[in-house]
Amino acid sequence: MPNFDQLFRKYHHQLFLYARKFVADESVALDITQDVFAQVWEKEKLSLPDEHLKAYLFHSVRNHCLNHLKHERVIRRHQQFQQDELSKLEIQYYESGEKSLIQKESLERIYETVNSLSEVNREIIELSRFEGLKNKEIAERLGIPIRTVETRIFRALKELRQKLSQKFIRILLNLCRLKDKV
């Protein structure tokens, strides 16, 4: 029955190298080896026969290493989950807050520009884009031919293109589609 110092000197280096096969970090392997020896001391395993004690030490190191690796995987998964959740929250934040603010400002600019159009052009754009009426419906409401509606829409959009950037024109042209989705 060896004493603790003899056991430590005899197996420490072997156990450390064995732990290094599982764990890449030297300090972690050293900590695991130290923990196993502390466990032997606390559980008074020194009374075991030498071959059983050796097997106990190596099994303990292996189990500690595997537990450490499992814990590291859990930590990485948790960190990845947290990172994914943070990314989702950032996307939601920008989609809801910043995007809606930009859309609101864009729509305000479009409405101001539409209101600055001539009466005929403003009426056609409001019916076409804001109310979402088809050319035939506009013609029936105003009592004019469809071709006249098309011509007025063309002229109104031409006037808007002169006053608004391409980005605002695209928003205006898509207003009917946005209203259909809401």
Confirm whether 153 is domain-assigned.
Answer: yes
CA 122 to each of CA 43, 69, 179: distance values in angstroms, whole numbers, following the listed order? 89, 69, 19
CA 2 to each of CA 35, 49, 58: distance values in angstroms, whole numbers, following the listed order? 19, 9, 17
Residues 70, 127, single domain; the answer is: no
CATH number, position 9: 1.10.1740
C-alpha to C-alpha distance for 53 and 62, rounded to whole angstroms: 14
Confirm whether 110 is domain-assigned.
Answer: no
Instruction: Give me the residues of the chain with pLDDT under 70, please.
Output: 1-2, 45-46, 87, 90-103, 167, 171-182
Confirm whether 98 is domain-assigned.
Answer: no
Confirm whether 85 is domain-assigned.
Answer: no
Q: pLDDT for 43-95, tens place per residue?
A: 776 677 778 888 889 999 999 999 999 999 999 998 888 877 876 776 666 55
Confirm whether 67 is domain-assigned.
Answer: yes
CATH number, position 155: 1.10.10
| H helix or E strand, kind and range, residue 133 | none
Confirm whether 105 is domain-assigned.
Answer: no
Confirm whether 69 is domain-assigned.
Answer: yes
Confirm whether 90 is domain-assigned.
Answer: no
pLDDT reported for residue 180? 45
Task: Decide which of 28, 48, 76 is a domain's last residue.
Answer: 76
Task: Decide which of 54, 76, 98 is a domain's last residue.
Answer: 76
Q: Which residues span the domain enclosing 171? A: 116-181
Query: Residue 160's CB: how many other CB atoms inside 10 A?
Result: 21
The count of domains in the chain is 2
Sign of the alpha-carbon torsion through 137, 141, 145, 149: negative
Task: Decide which of 52, 76, 100 is a domain's last residue.
Answer: 76
List, in sequence order, the alpha helices (H) in 43-174.
50-93, 99-115, 119-125, 135-142, 146-163, 166-173
